Amino acid sequence: MELQNKIAVVTGANKGIGLECVQQLLDKGATVVGICRSGCNQTHPSYSCLKADVRNWEDLSAAFNEILAKYGKIDILINNAGLGYFGHCDELPLEQWHEMFDTNVTGLFYATRLALPSMKQHGEGHIINISSIAGLEGYQQVSAYCATKFAVRGFSDALYKEVRDFGVKVTCVYPGSVKTDFFRHSKNIKAHDNMLMPQDVAQQIIYCLESPPNFHNVNLEIRPLKPRG
């Protein structure tokens, strides 16, 4: 897809991988709309930010309706909004379980459901779902987070088969540990320089988006070469 003048929506756009995707899409000439719970700090003539919580259907519907009313279509959706809590299964607060599923899974489903009609109507589109290597294999003390990311994996695998005949691509991305504030909820793991850099993960996402029309990168697994230095 040629990214010049394409309409891209990025959830969780104010930091980490989401922010890097916004910046790199803008560099490619796309028009970008960020969706954030707390608002966005990015400024650019081709960028706008809508404040919405992906967990809230009414919030998100209003945001997507505004986007479609202004631009008439959505070409790209990057489902980046997500979070993780650490803890043993029998000790994890129930509200953290629900927050992770509501954000990582339900919010992703909501955004996808709202973007798909435009993509199918125009016969073109690309949905990027950010999962994790925790969606490929389980890790102790993040069982609930793993469950959400395995759900994203299953949803993505089914969805690409559902929409490919409409010209819509679905790519699920499985990053290893990324140097972001994701680990703010962990007592034992702190971000460090041997983790993946968010700008490098975003660069690979841009590569997927720019692939030729009949080239479909369904799964993208990215890991640090030397995760512990």
Residue corresponding to tokens 């949803």? 155
E-assigned strands of 42-166?
A: 47-51, 76-79, 125-130
The DSSP H or E segment spanning 169 is strand 168-175
The DSSP H or E segment spanning 31 is strand 31-36
Which among 84, 67, 78, 60 has a CA at the least distance from the CA of 186? Answer: 84
Q: Determine which one of 47, 110, 145, 174 is catalytic.
A: 145
**145 catalytic per annotation:** yes
Q: Count other Cβ atoms within 10 Å, centred on residue 213.
A: 10
Cα–Cα distance between 78 and 69 in angstroms, integer?
Answer: 19
What residues are annotated to the active site? Answer: 145
